[in-house]
């Protein structure tokens, strides 16, 4: 009764038209070519839902192809800010037992579904095949509908739900009672031409040695590998995933790290990364050579640059790290996944480099508990780039954003002459569970005297004590690993608040609060943060401190020695 006439008409004609489209296309249509949808990801752990898509920047739209291998009475597919089914933007296919319907819907804060008065998920076709039902539909990036999700650069939280029984209307769907889940992807892939590969290119696979995936929801697996003896300097020019067939929904992300060159040897290891049996020396294998996350394709270096490995001053030891996400706790599943490196002995014009931007790993940068959007910023200052960068500058072509569990947004901007000029990389829906090296849509030129400012937004609503900066998973980081050329001596360009001014903050808190905060010299910075009563005054003063106090800048060479 509360629907307007035009909404009722929209729903009625959408249902009738879509039912006819499904019927006709199911009988007469043809499955689109796989090449029409270059990006693919399994939505559910069992692989029953498989999503493929392409991006049309001229149309400002995404075209989806959803393969449903075991269709019951319908499904829900859509997007939301953090992967929740409340306040979500959904396409719904459902059956009342006789007819099938498709519509654009949205859910309110209670999770109740409503037909959208503006139908922006446009059904293009459907077809039954031996492998299941193919649904084709289109969605514009921006629809000007306040109930719709704005598709933008960065991470997108895709959600899905499977309807087991027929329903008479959307209102009859109880989303809390259906099988549902989420998958994170980068929908808006950059439209970059694949560079030509050299004829002398070789490949090397760094893969797990037929391990049995542990029957845990989350496992990080570490495996040590070695380059051949007397392996001379080469350039990595491309890398891609190697996924064991059948495990596509379990292998969440992977990274290959090169170990520190100052150690002559590293012990062999093949086991969980958090095991007490893992040798401590493996913690010195942190130089990223390649990274992949679910939904990502092959990673290409620009034609004029390659990532150097092998030769003098380069360790032959590599560490493969695989994150398995096994929510259904499968047992006895074997896996030999990993990453395939493409490399050449014909060195390109430039060595590519990786530089760390953001905040120093230090407890002086902290987030109070109970915050929904606390902001911290790290600076690569003009003084540092003036000293460390060549006159012709550097070119950033890829970026990997990184925080720990409280991170929600990350952005790096380029500032020149005191004005923000360009966004290097931004993710407004960032998830610490989905980190990949992303090729930039356009190369960013950075010159001496420029500033690179990295800002992270955190949520600590589920925590009762302060979260300090550090290496632990319950501590926090704010980092952007930028991939660039030509390589320079500058490997780390970060900042933190001046420790002296933080000490003044602790003194102030101690003076203006009834509860005493211990200022004893032997008490560590984390302990002082943990003892603070987090009232509004203490929170606001800390925010002001981080916004206006002087900073300590780390402008470091690869040897960890600072530039003067």
Residues involved in catalysis: 220, 402
Give, in order, the Cα–Cα distances in Å from 234 to each of 261, 339, 345, 346: 16, 17, 5, 7
Token pair belonging to 279: 């040798």
> What counts of helices (H) and strands (E) characterise the chain?
5, 35
Cα gap 488→260, rounded to integer Å: 18
**CA distances in angstroms from 539 to 370, 371, 405, 544, listed in the order given:** 10, 9, 21, 9
Query: What's the start-to-end Cα distance of the chain, in Å?
Result: 73
Q: By three-state DSSP, how is residue 13 classified?
A: helix
Token duo for residue 157? 């939280």
Contact between residue 496 and residue 502 where contact means Cβ atoms under 8 Å apart = no
Q: How is residue 166 written in tokens?
A: 């027929």
Helix axes 536-548, 499-512, angle to 10 degrees: 160
- Distance, in Å, from the CA atom of 308 to the CA atom of 314, rounded to the nearest integer, reads 9
Tell me 336's DSSP state.
-
Count of beta carbons in the 10 Å neighbourhood of residue 559: 9
d(CA 322, CA 214): 12
Structure tokens at 532: 């603070």
């Amino acid at each position: 009764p509360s629907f307007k006439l035009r909404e009722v008409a929209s729903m009625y004609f959408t249902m009738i038209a879509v039912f006819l489209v499904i019927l006709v296309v199911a009988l007469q249509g043809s499955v689109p070519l796989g090449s029409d949808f270059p990006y693919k990801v399994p939505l559910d752990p069992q692989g029953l839902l498989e999503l493929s898509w392409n991006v049309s920047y001229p149309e400002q739209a995404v075209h989806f192809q959803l393969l449903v291998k075991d269709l019951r009475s319908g499904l829900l597919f859509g997007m939301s800010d953090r992967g929740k089914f409340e306040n979500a933007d959904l396409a719904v296919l459902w059956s009342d037992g006789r007819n099938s319907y498709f519509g654009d819907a949205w859910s309110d804060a209670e999770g109740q579904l409503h037909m959208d008065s503006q139908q922006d998920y446009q059904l293009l076709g459907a077809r039954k095949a031996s492998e299941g039902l193919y649904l084709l539909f289109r969605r514009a990036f921006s629809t000007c509908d306040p109930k719709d999700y704005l598709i933008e650069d960065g991470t997108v939280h895709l959600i899905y739900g499977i309807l087991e029984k027929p329903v008479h209307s959307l209102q009859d769907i109880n989303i809390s009672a259906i099988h549902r889940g989420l998958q994170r992807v980068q929908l808006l892939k950059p439209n970059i031409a694949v560079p030509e590969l050299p004829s002398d290119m070789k490949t090397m696979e760094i893969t797990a040695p037929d391990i049995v995936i542990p029957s845990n929801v989350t496992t990080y697996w570490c495996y040590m590998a070695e380059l051949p003896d007397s392996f001379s300097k080469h350039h990595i020019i491309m890398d891609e995933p190697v996924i064991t067939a059948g495990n596509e929904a379990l292998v969440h992300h992977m990274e290959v790290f090169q170990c520190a060159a100052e150690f002559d040897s590293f012990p062999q290891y093949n086991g969980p990364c958090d095991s007490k049996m893992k040798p401590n020396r493996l913690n010195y294998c942190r130089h990223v050579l390649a990274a992949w996350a679910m939904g990502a394709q092959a990673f290409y270096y620009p034609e004029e640059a390659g990532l150097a490995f092998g030769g003098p001053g380069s360790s032959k030891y590599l560490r493969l790290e695989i994150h398995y996400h096994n929510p259904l706790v499968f047992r006895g599943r074997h896996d030999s996944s990993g990453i395939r490196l493409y490399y050449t002995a014909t060195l390109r014009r430039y060595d590519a480099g990786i530089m760390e931007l953001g905040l120093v790993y230090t407890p002086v940068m902290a987030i109070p508990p109970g915050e929904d959007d606390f902001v911290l910023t790290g600076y690569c200052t003009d003084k540092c780039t003036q000293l460390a960068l060549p006159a012709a500058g550097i070119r950033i072509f890829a970026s990997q954003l990184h925080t720990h569990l409280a991170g929600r947004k990350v952005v790096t901007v380029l500032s020149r002459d005191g004005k923000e000029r360009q966004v290097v990389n931004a993710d407004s829906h960032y998830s610490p569970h989905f980190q990949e090296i992303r090729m930039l849509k356009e190369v960013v030129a950075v010159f001496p005297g420029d500033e690179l400012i990295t800002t992270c937004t955190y949520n600590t609503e589920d925590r009762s004590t302060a979260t300090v900066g550090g290496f632990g998973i319950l501590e926090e980081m704010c980092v952007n690993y930028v991939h660039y050329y030509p390589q320079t001596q500058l490997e780390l360009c970060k900042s933190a608040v001046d420790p002296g001014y933080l000490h003044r903050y602790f003194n102030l808190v101690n003076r203006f609060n009834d509860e005493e905060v211990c200022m004893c010299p032997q008490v560590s910075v984390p302990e002082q943060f943990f003892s603070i009563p987090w009232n509004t005054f203490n929170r606001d003063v800390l925010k002001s401190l981080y916004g206006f106090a002087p900073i300590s800048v780390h402008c470091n060479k690869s040897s960890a020695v600072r530039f003067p």
